[in-house]
Amino acid sequence: MVKIIGLTKAFPGLPAPTLKHIDLTLSPTDFCILLGSNGSGKSTLMRVLSGEYSVDAGRIEINGHDVTHSDRSTIIASVVQDMHKGTIAQMTMLENIVLSMLRGRPARSILYRQYEKEVAALVATLGIGLERYLHTPMGCLSGGQRQMIATLMAVHSKPHVLLLDEHTSALDPKMQRVLMEYTAGAIASSSIASIMITHKMEDALRYGNRLLMLHEGTIVHDIRGAEKQALTATDLLGMFCATGDLL
């Protein structure tokens, strides 16, 4: 369970806080799609949750523990739109995945080969043949391949919360669909509380069980379950028009 209570974040030089007293509760089965115009606070919310930005006011609780001012790197995993940030280019796919699997454990010499079969089987679940690149440096793979591996690593590091910040935006349409189908399936099978930012109306309608819309740092819509599944493109456009936002 994730509870965000009165979360506020401001930046010097801006006339108003970027996030204004955000209240939000996520269950382990919530896959939230986060919408809003540029500047509405979407990425700021993600960065505050991940711990990249500090909290000015409010509280973040995960499974009953106040983690507002704690290191959250072992319990929250993020995948961002920059495909170069999710993996270490100089290390092989095997090395990247093993490090993500062992994150939070005491540093020690790692014998990567002992994990080879396990990692190969895991990568094979992506269904696009990436397991044959197990010993290839990540920097030699395509952007789409790296983003697939970064997402797999985030999910299988067993976080309490998964944050996806437009993680398909830099990919071609075919790879976008492959990655989104994998992402949705992995979230469903792992029961990870997840938030995904997207500007794609089709993805907002197709995926997730909950839709959140931010406007000027405030949640103005929180639509769940069957009501969310019944939304149409016309409904979604109307929500944006009502706040003065554009997709």
For 91-100, what is each residue's pLDDT tens digit?
899 988 988 8
Going by C-alpha positions, the residue among 173, 170, 132 that lies closest to residue 151 is: 170
Tokens of residue 211, six digits: 């839709």
User: What distance in Å separates the CA atoms of residue 144 and residue 137, rounded to the nearest whole number?
Assistant: 15
Burial, 115: exposed, middle or buried (Cβ in 10 Å; 0-12, 13-18, 19+)? middle
- Report the pLDDT averaged over residues 93-121: 78
Averaged over 53-62, what is the pLDDT? 95
Beta strands in 85-145 (DSSP E): none
Q: What is the pLDDT of residue 241?
A: 78
Phi, psi of 193 (to 5 degrees): -60, 120
**Gap between the Cα atoms of 145 and 86, Å rounded:** 11
pLDDT at 150: 92
Provide the pLDDT for residue 209: 95
What proportion of the chain, given as a percentage, has pLDDT over 70?
95
Q: What domains, with CATH codes, occur in the chain?
A: 2-243 (3.40.50.300)
How far is CA 91 from each of CA 16, 47, 125, 175, 184, rounded to the nearest angstrom? 43, 26, 21, 23, 27
Cβ atoms of 204 and 35 within 8 Å: the answer is: yes
DSSP 179: H
> Which pLDDT band, with edges at 50, 70 and 90, does 190 fall under?
confident
Residue written as token pair 């799609």: 33
Residue 130, CA distances (Å) to 72, 142, 144, 158, 214 in order: 30, 11, 11, 21, 37
